[in-house]
Amino acid sequence: MKNKLVLAMLAVFGLNVEAANLNKTYLEIGYSQTELDDTEYDATGYKAGAGYEFDNGIFVGFNYRRQKDTLSIFLRETEVEFDENIFEIGYIIHEAQNGRFSIAANMGKLDIKQDNRTTDFDLARFYTEYEHSFNKYFSAFAQLGYENYDATDVSKRSGARYGGGLKVYFGASSVSLEYFKGRDFDQSALMYRYSF
């Protein structure tokens, strides 16, 4: 009985099952949220992106995020928008049967718009990522890196950034729950992705 239970558990967790497709050629869209530290700013909106993985392990991608929230500032309500446009380039350093380790860089713009004023930040981010496929239905990833935000009219902001997510696969489609923590804000997303 004990052996049958162990075999059943191995089948459930899929240690000998086909692995989920971890490639980075995709289109995705989903719900996104950003929370600024030490404020009541809790912007929600959408995130969309696309990526392509070359046969030699290099991958590129583009993501954009559009979010907004209404804040009460000095007894007056004002709408604040949080927009990101990010280009990504990376390389898969090591690939095993069920996992991949990569390094990547993000470059782009972060705009915070309030009333008629826009603060434009130049964004640079470097990170390492590990993706692991548990079976053909589930995978997870973790990232650890460093980010820098720079704008002419505010002080430069930089620090560590980390996070990760879980994915559930339905053939070429997947749904993921992601969370990232930076120096000044937390970001989370619920994404639908179609992989090619």
Report pLDDT for 42.
84
Report pLDDT for 53.
97
Which residues in the chain land under pLDDT 50? Answer: 1, 5-6, 9-10, 12-16
Report pLDDT for 116.
82
Report pLDDT for 179.
98
Contact predicate 150/156, CB 8 Å: yes
Architecture per CATH, 30-195: Beta Barrel (2.40)
Model pTM above 0.95: no
Contact predicate 140/132, CB 8 Å: yes
Report pLDDT for 155.
72
Report pLDDT for 16.
44
Report pLDDT for 75.
72
Report pLDDT for 11.
52
> For the residues of the chain, what is the DSSP string, one character each?
-HHHHHHHHHHHHTTTSPPP---S-EEEEEEEEEEETTS--EEEEEEEEEEEE-TTSEEEEEEEEEEEEEEEETTEEEEEEEEEEEEEEEEEEEE-SSEEEEEEEEEEEEEEEETTEEEEEEEEEEEEEEEEE-SSSEEEEEEEEEEEEEETTEEEEEEEEEEEEEEEEETTEEEEEEEEE-SSEEEEEEEEEEE-
Count of CB atoms situated within 10 Å of the CB of 74: 5
